[in-house]
Structure 1
Amino acid sequence: MPQIVVLPHATLCPEGAVIEAPAGMSVCDALLENDIEIEHACEKSCACTTCHVIVREGVESLNEPEEKEEDLLDRAWGLEATSRLSCQAILDKEDLVVEIPKYTINQVSENH
């Protein structure tokens, strides 16, 4: 089972974490199942950017992003070359290191 090293995030995972999840599971589901409450405002339907993560190591082991995901990522806060929507990033057999960005664009929680 691949490991996901989650780098520290001030509110969601202050100490960081190392979790395991089966290949075939999304990064978002793996985080949520391990009590890392990453936002997922569209209920994991690839319609927002609230579950955006930056894959610091292991990005090549994930499935290729589809065009819809790439289009949405263009609107994500703190976009980097290895950014993915965690609801669309499917684990394979390799370990990952992920960073949850400091901010997210969530118009519902921001009262817009």
Structure 2
Amino acid sequence: MPTIKILPHAEYAPEGKSITAPAGTSICEALLENGVKIEHACDMSCACTTCHVIVRQGYSSLNEADEAEEDLLDRAWGLEPQSRLSCQAILAQQDVTIEIPKYTINHAKENH
């Protein structure tokens, strides 16, 4: 089972965190199932950018981003070449390290 290492984030993982999840799971699902309450305003339907993450290690092991995801990522705050929407990034067998950006473009935060 691959490990997701989450780099420290003031709100979601102040000290960082490592979790495991089965291959075939989206990064967003894995985070939520392990108590990391990342924003996901569109309920993981690839319609917003609130679950944006930057994959610091293991990027090439994830599925390829499709055109819809790439179009949305263009609107994400803090976009980098290894940015992904965590709801669309599916784990394979390799471990990944992610950074959750400090901000999102979401103007209203909901309790999920």
Q: Which residue of 2 aligns with 1:80?
A: 80
Q: Secondary structure at the match of 2:88?
A: coil
Deviations 1:29-48 (A, max 9, x none): 00000100000000000000
User: Which runs of no fewer than 5 residues in structure 2 stay unpaired?
Assistant: none
Give the whole-Å Cα distance in 2 for the aligned partners of 1:36 and 1:5.
12
- Offset of 1:105 from its aligned partner? 1.0
Alpha-carbon offset, residue 12 of structure 1? 0.8
- The whole-number CA distance in structure 2 between the counterparts of 1:45 and 1:98 is 20
- Amino acid paired to 1:26: S
Number of the residue aligned with 1:10: 10
Give SS of 1:93's match: coil
Q: Greater CA deviation, 100-109 or 70-79?
A: 100-109
Moved over 3 A (4+): none
TM-score where L is the length of structure 1: 0.96
Deviation at 1:107, TM superposition (A): 2.6
- The unaligned stretches of length 5 or more in structure 1 are none
> What is the distance in 2 between the residues matched to 1:107 and 1:21?
30
Q: Is residue 49 of structure 1 aligned with residue 49 of structure 2? A: yes
TM alignment of 1:31-50, pairs within 5 A: 31-50=31-50
Distance 2:29 2:36 in 1: 10
Q: Structure 1 residue 108: deviation in Å?
A: 2.6
Task: Report the aligned-residue RMSD.
Answer: 1.0
**Match for 2:78: what amino acid?**
G
Please give the TM-score of this superposition, normalised by the length of structure 2: 0.96
